């Protein structure tokens, strides 16, 4: 007998949880044939609504339902880590509570695990129902990420992924504070099968992502999985040194040949302001990495749980 743990990060999902549970139970009937038991592990990521109560109500009628409750909102990354750590079963899968990760794919996903894959990941082939501006920037981000990082990060990849214990343990062995799970999944390697599916709208409730939140998340991803911005800022520095050198020669020669009178205050100040901007930009990039290193060194826990709400 093997066991599957379904990990569900939840932030303010009281309406979505019962819908999710019903659909999940319906779609996991096939597990019995496989001789696999089911465990549903909700992670309450500092919800301020009735999320805890909703999970408790499910637990009262179904003891396979469990909950880990955080002391405050630590973010989905921390919630996924907590879930994977607590799962401790042969298979684990991460799913959103809003049914945007269709549980109906699970049966197909299992067939690939049985074929010998270590993880089965999912990817949205379209972004229907999403604001166009958000899709546009998301696409740009994945393009940029592919250029900047050696770790493969798929466009449209979801966190919805079925994993074997070996894969989960590898993901858990990366204990970094600045977690970017999409990158970590790629970094650990192993054989991964990708499944495409059409985007579905949220079952209930509303998205927890603001546009600004996504921008911050992207920067997190870039600094966590690439040091190329540092190289780029060094290259910018080298380029301007070279340019300055050429200009010095030009000015000295012109002075000697033509006897140049003092001129060009406007162009001088423009160049100075421009270069000051470039310098701040590069210092900013450096600062990003130092800040990340600072947070890593502090070695704070990724999350804290509120024991009275865990079962």
220 near ligand UDP (CB under 6 A): no
11 near ligand UDP (CB under 6 A): yes
Strand arrangement of the beta sheet that strand 2-10 belongs to: 65-69, 36-44, 2-10, 91-94, 157-164, 119-124, 192-197
124 near ligand UDP (CB under 6 A): no
Candidate residues 136, 190, 209, 289; the one interacting with ligand UDP per rule CB under 6 A: 209
288 near ligand UDP (CB under 6 A): no
Which of these segments, 59-67, 76-84, 99-107, 270-278, binds Mg ion (CB under 5 A)? 99-107
98 near Mg ion (CB under 5 A): yes
What's phi and psi for 55, nearest 5 deg?
-70, -35
Write down the least CB distance from residue 202 to ligand UDP, Å: 6
12 near Mg ion (CB under 5 A): no
96 near ligand UDP (CB under 6 A): yes
Write down the least CB distance from residue 158 to Mg ion, Å: 9
Quick note: the x/- pattern for ligand UDP over 245-264, rule CB under 6 A, is: --------------------
Write down the least CB distance from residue 9 to ligand UDP, Å: 3
Nearest to 180 by CA among 234, 149, 223, 124: 223
Nearest to 208 by CA among 40, 66, 96, 121: 96
Other Cβ atoms closer than 10 A to 31: 18
- Alpha-carbon torsion 127, 131, 133, 134, what sign? negative
- Three-state DSSP class for residue 121: strand
76 near ligand UDP (CB under 6 A): yes
Q: 179-208: which residues touch ligand UDP (CB under 6 A)?
A: 207-208
Q: How far is CA 70 from CA 6, 63, 84, in A?
A: 18, 21, 15
122 near Mg ion (CB under 5 A): no
Burial (CB count within 10 angstroms: exposed 0-12, middle 13-18, buried 19+), residue 195: middle
| Interface ranges with ligand UDP (CB under 6 A) | 9-11, 13, 45, 73, 75-76, 79, 96-98, 100, 207-209
| Interface ranges with Mg ion (CB under 5 A) | 96, 98, 100
């Amino acid at each position: 007998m093997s066991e599957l743990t379904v990990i569900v990060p939840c932030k303010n999902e009281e309406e979505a949880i019962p819908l999710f549970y019903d659909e999940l139970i319906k779609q996991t009937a096939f597990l019995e044939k496989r001789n696999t038991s089911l465990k549903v592990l909700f992670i309450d990521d500092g919800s301020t609504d009735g999320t805890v109560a909703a999970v408790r109500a499910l637990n009262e009628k179904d003891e396979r339902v469990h909950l880990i409750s955080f002391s405050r909102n630590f973010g989905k990354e921390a919630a996924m880590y907590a879930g994977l750590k607590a799962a401790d079963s042969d298979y684990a899968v991460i799913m959103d509570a809003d049914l945007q990760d269709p549980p109906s794919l699970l049966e197909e996903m299992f067939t690939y695990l049985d074929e010998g894959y270590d993880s089965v990941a999912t990817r949205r082939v379209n972004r229907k129902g999403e604001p166009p501006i958000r899709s546009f920037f998301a696409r740009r981000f994945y393009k940029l990420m592919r250029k900047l990082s050696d770790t493969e990060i798929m466009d449209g990849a979801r966190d919805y992924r079925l994993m074997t214990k070996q894969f989960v343990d590898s993901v858990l062995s990366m204990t970094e504070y600045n977690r970017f799970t999409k990158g970590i999944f790629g970094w650990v390697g192993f054989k991964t099968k990708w499944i495409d599916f059409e985007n579905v709208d949220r079952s209930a409730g509303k998205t927890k992502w603001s546009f600004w939140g996504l921008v911050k998340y992207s920067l997190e991803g870039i600094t966590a999985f690439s040091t190329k911005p540092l190289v780029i800022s060094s290259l910018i520095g080298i380029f301007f040194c070279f340019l300055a050198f050429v200009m010095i020669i030009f000015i000295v020669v012109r002075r000697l040949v033509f006897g140049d009178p003092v001129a060009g205050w406007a162009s001088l100040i423009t160049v100075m302001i421009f270069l000051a901007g470039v310098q701040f930009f590069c210092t900013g990039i450096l600062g990003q990495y130092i800040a990340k290193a600072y947070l890593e060194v502090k070695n704070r826990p990724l999350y804290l749980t509120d024991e009275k709400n865990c079962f």
